[in-house]
Amino acid sequence: MIENIPYIGILRELTGSCREVFLVGGTLRDSILNRQVRDYDIALSESPFTVARWFADAINGAYVMLHERFPTARVVKGDCVYDFTALRGGSIESDLLSRDFTVNALAVSINNPVDGIIDVTGGLGDINNRIIRMVSKDNLAEDPVRLLRAFRVAAELGFTTIDTDTLAAIADLKGGISVAAVERVWAEFKMLLQADNSAEIIKSACETGLLFELLPELEPLRGLRQNRWHHLDVFDHTMAAYEAAESVTPALPFHENLRAWFEMYPHKSALIKLAILLHDVGKYRTYGQSKDGHITFYRHEQEGTAIAADIMTRFKASTKETEFVTMLVKNHLRILAFKRVGGAGLSTMKRPLIRLLNTVGDAIYALVVVWIADSAAKLEGTDETIGICSGILDFYENKYLPRKTAPRFITGRDLIETFKLTPSPLFSEILGAIELQTLEGQIDSKAKAAALVDEFLHARGGG
């Protein structure tokens, strides 16, 4: 595995005078698991900054100092990342014993690889048995982000087992996550959510209470009863929807371009799954009962949108991330309008559908996944929802997009030069009406657009 490291010859030449130089941590773990390796963690007995600078110069890479107090520097070359760190504790054994999990507490000498893998915590056995196990509880307490990382690493590696002592330690230390740097927590949480099969791991995070430390807004959903359309309380419904999203997203049996969209924007999957965790978060504030005793959650999507925005602010998420998640929460009930008319009746719902598409754009693909996952977690199942979503996407791709991107039949300049109008708020009203009817398919020529302008002017006494 050492010989496959890009620029290994240069690295050995530059570190020849160092007492000890090791390839460590996740690099070895991923190599053993035959996962693609692009990040290389290198621990040295001395001078990590100097060696990193020399290495960057030698390979024409970019040098970045990551941490001065805990000497760490990074060199980036193409899609490869090399992190140079000083050995903790003065020896490789001490360094490995200070790490988070046994699967990451491995090392091999770069200059003497024939000595084999150094494993002082049983990490090789845990990799073989697909178990995440802490090196020590004190190590987790030292850096609370490691509590979340246990679940993230398990999900990324496809390990379904986290050692019971490790889970107990996480449950005991979970409150510490609140004092960790929120930027690091958000980065770890997104990586956890982005893993393809994280549902069981998310459930495990619930059982330790760590998920409720991250999202305390989910706690009141436990035991919150729902109406006759549901067989689960709000929290269990949310977890079932999350699990459904992970089965829907890779399979996507009903629409080819939906798959293509996810391949184009793989990072969106984490935000979609977060939106699913939050889609009913407004229900605990809007719970009520009608006169006939039926449970209601009127406007819970509006309340949930505000709560989701607060959560994203707490995570210091970007504006785009916040807008995306809150858009999904806000619109997660919009499918109901189309269900009332059935898939065959979409032609009667063009205007509401166009308004929706004007708002969400190509994020309709993400919204479709939310709709299907939400339906899968109810008594109704998904067949009807999938049929309606397929019709919506067909309209979006074959009618809406070609009409939206085609040259306009009438422009503001035409209103001035052909119709002799003076710029005013009437311009946007006319052009908006033309665009709407174009998207609906009622206007398909300049002549029809001009006729609509004449109708406007006549109605206002200008014709």
pLDDT of residue 249: 54
Task: For 217-405, give the CATH class.
Answer: mainly alpha
Judge residue 338's burial from the number of C-beta atoms within 10 Å of its C-beta, 0-12 exposed, 13-18 middle, 19 or more buried.
Answer: buried
Judge residue 314's burial from the number of C-beta atoms within 10 Å of its C-beta, 0-12 exposed, 13-18 middle, 19 or more buried.
Answer: middle
pLDDT of residue 303: 97
Neighbours of 183 (CB within 10 A): 11
Indicate if the pLDDT at residue 253 is higher than 60: no
Contact status, residue 173 vs residue 180, Cβ threshold 8 Å: no
pLDDT of residue 344: 60
Q: Where are the domains of the chain?
A: 2-124, 130-214, 217-405, 412-459
202-217: per-residue pLDDT in tens?
A: 999 999 999 999 999 9
pLDDT of residue 293: 80
- DSSP annotation of 44: E
Q: What is the mean pLDDT of residues 253-280?
A: 87
Which residue has better confidence, 381 or 221?
Answer: 221
pLDDT of residue 16: 80
Type of residue numbered 70: F
pLDDT of residue 168: 98
Indicate if the pLDDT at residue 460 is higher than 90: no
Cβ-Cβ contacts under 8 Å for 461 (sequence gap 6 or more)? none
pLDDT of residue 199: 95
Neighbours of 43 (CB within 10 A): 23
Q: Under CATH, which number does the domain 2-124 receive?
A: 3.30.460.10
Contact status, residue 415 vs residue 427, Cβ threshold 8 Å: yes
Q: What is the mean pLDDT of residues 434-449?
A: 93
pLDDT of residue 4: 82
Supply the pTM of this predicted model: 0.91
pLDDT of residue 380: 76
How far does Cα 106 stand from its chain's mean position? 30
- DSSP H stretches of helix in 7-144: 8-14, 26-32, 48-59, 92-97, 123-129, 137-142
Indicate if the pLDDT at residue 406 is higher than 70: yes
Compute the radius of gyration of the chain from its Cα atoms: 28
407-438: per-residue pLDDT in tens?
A: 999 999 999 999 988 898 889 999 999 999 99
- Domains 2-124 and 217-405 fall in the same CATH topology: no
pLDDT of residue 378: 87
Whether CATH 1.10.110.30 fits 130-214: yes
pLDDT band at 343 (very low <50, low <70, confident <90, very high): low
